[in-house]
């Protein structure tokens, strides 16, 4: 990514990004502005061998506020690719299991990705709608120790689509969207996966792809379109689709027992995709449910603390626990989110603490209240 001289000059005199960065608030030596200085103004700093290059969460809080519109996450991502060539690699979470799964999919492996869908509802082999499942089935297997039923999110997405008369294509040939490889600088793996997914969806004749995961949606919207050209189909996140279609479908919801909930804005859904209101509109469909906004919400929301299954640090845990405190401060008994990783990370953070707020999936919350 190239920055103009004007952007560089302005950046060296500014500090808005540092004051916005949740990592910089905990790791004193980290700052987006300082990272740009180290890469451009101080090329001798040998940034490609520094571990700081992996600290950025790519949450986009800094770039959203940058006066000269520097996309810092994209800037630092471009250097991560170079860092890998210098054998500077990130510290992977969960022993690198998810990155290994991604690599296996890129190399080609026969998968059984649709058994959950056959049990949960009705699907098609060809048709107008394609439901992009993502990696949630692998998360379901990995996070049983947190007592999380991750696949329920995909099941409930399908059930709601079926209730509106839609039988989407769910494919065994779908691969990981490549999000984690992309943000870890593994461009070859990302491009291989992207091409496979485009070919798979195109072969079904689908005109619209519905995403249950914000990461998959943002990857198609940004990275796929940039690297592979205009997409041959419409893409939409499930929250926007449901917010648009449920009012037309005549689906009724039962009372939410006067529950007070709050919403965790996922970085990929909010700041990187601009979707803030659709999830809140869906929560408002549940009679008796009160939505209480955390101190930091919408474009000011704080990241769940880690991304791309790497660098789960002390800074990550601080962010997560502060988020739990924010939810409790507004009287919420549950944090609702539309991102599987937010749900996993916040659930993990409250283990062995005195925080007892529930972490719930948005569509599953809707499905539980259907009349």
Distance in angstroms (rounded) separating the CA atoms of residues 110 and 104: 10
**Same domain as 236, residue 104:** yes
**Same domain as 282, residue 324:** yes
**Same domain as 280, residue 356:** yes
Tens-digit pLDDT string for the chain (371 aa): 778 888 888 788 888 998 999 999 888 788 898 888 888 766 656 888 888 899 999 999 999 999 999 999 999 999 999 999 999 999 999 999 999 999 999 998 888 889 999 999 999 999 999 999 999 999 998 999 999 999 999 999 999 999 999 999 999 999 999 999 999 999 999 999 999 999 999 999 999 999 999 999 999 999 999 999 999 999 999 999 999 999 999 899 998 777 999 999 999 999 999 999 999 999 999 999 999 999 999 999 999 998 899 988 888 999 999 999 999 999 999 999 999 999 999 999 998 788 889 999 999 999 999 98
**Same domain as 112, residue 196:** yes
DSSP symbols for 274-334: ---HHHHHHHTTSTTPEE---SS-GGGPPP-S-BTTB---HHHHHHHHHHHHHHHHTT-SE
Q: Pick the last residue of a domain from 20, 53, 85.
A: 85
Cα-based angle 336, 341, 343 (whole degrees, multiple of 5): 30
**What CATH number has the domain bearing residue 186?**
3.40.50.1860
Q: Pick the last residue of a domain from 57, 85, 113.
A: 85
Q: Containing domain of residue 24, as a range?
A: 5-85
| pTM of the shown model | 0.94
**What CATH number has the domain bearing residue 261?**
3.40.50
**Same domain as 132, residue 100:** yes
HSE, side-chain direction, 13 A CA sphere, residue 226: 9
DSSP symbols for 23-50: TTTT-TT--HHHHHIIIII-GGG-GGG-
pLDDT at 45: 63
């Amino acid at each position: 990514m190239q920055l103009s001289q004007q952007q560089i000059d302005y950046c060296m005199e500014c500090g808005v990004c540092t004051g916005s960065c949740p990592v910089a608030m905990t790791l004193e030596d980290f700052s987006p502005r300082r990272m740009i200085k180290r890469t451009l103004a101080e090329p001798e700093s040998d940034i490609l061998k520094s571990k700081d290059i992996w600290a950025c969460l790519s949450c986009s809080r800094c770039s959203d506020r940058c006066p000269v519109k520097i996309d810092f996450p994209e800037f630092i991502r471009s250097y991560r690719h170079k860092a890998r060539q210098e054998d500077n690699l990130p510290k992977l979470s969960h022993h690198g299991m998810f990155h290994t799964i991604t690599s296996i999919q890129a190399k080609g492996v026969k998968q059984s990705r649709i058994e959950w869908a056959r049990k949960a509802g009705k699907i098609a082999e060809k048709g107008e709608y394609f439901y992009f499942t993502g990696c949630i089935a692998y998360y379901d297997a990995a996070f049983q120790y947190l007592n999380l039923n991750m696949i329920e999110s995909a099941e409930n997405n399908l059930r709601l689509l079926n209730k509106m008369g839609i039988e989407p294509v769910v494919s065994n040939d779908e691969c990981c969207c490549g999000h984690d490889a992309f943000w870890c600088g593994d461009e070859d793996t990302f491009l291989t996966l992207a091409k496979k997914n485009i070919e798979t969806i195109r072969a079904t004749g689908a005109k619209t792809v519905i995403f249950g995961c914000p990461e998959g949606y943002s990857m198609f919207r940004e990275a796929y379109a940039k690297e592979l050209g205009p997409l041959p189909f419409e893409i939409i996140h499930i929250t926007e689709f449901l917010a648009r279609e449920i009012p037309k479908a005549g689906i009724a919801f039962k009372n939410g027992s006067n529950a007070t909930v709050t919403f965790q804005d996922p970085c990929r859904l909010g700041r990187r995709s601009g979707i803030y209101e659709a999830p809140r509109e869906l929560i408002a469909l549940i009679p008796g449910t009160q939505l209480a906004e955390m101190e930091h919400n919408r474009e000011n929301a704080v990241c769940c603390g880690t991304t791309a299954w790497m660098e789960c640090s002390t800074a990550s845990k601080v962010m997560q626990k502060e988020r739990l405190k924010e939810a409790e401060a507004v009287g919420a008994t549950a944090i609702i989110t539309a991102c599987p990783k937010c749900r996993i990370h916040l659930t993990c953070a409250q283990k062995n603490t005195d925080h007892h707020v529930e972490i719930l999936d948005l569509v599953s919350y809707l499905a539980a209240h259907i009349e």
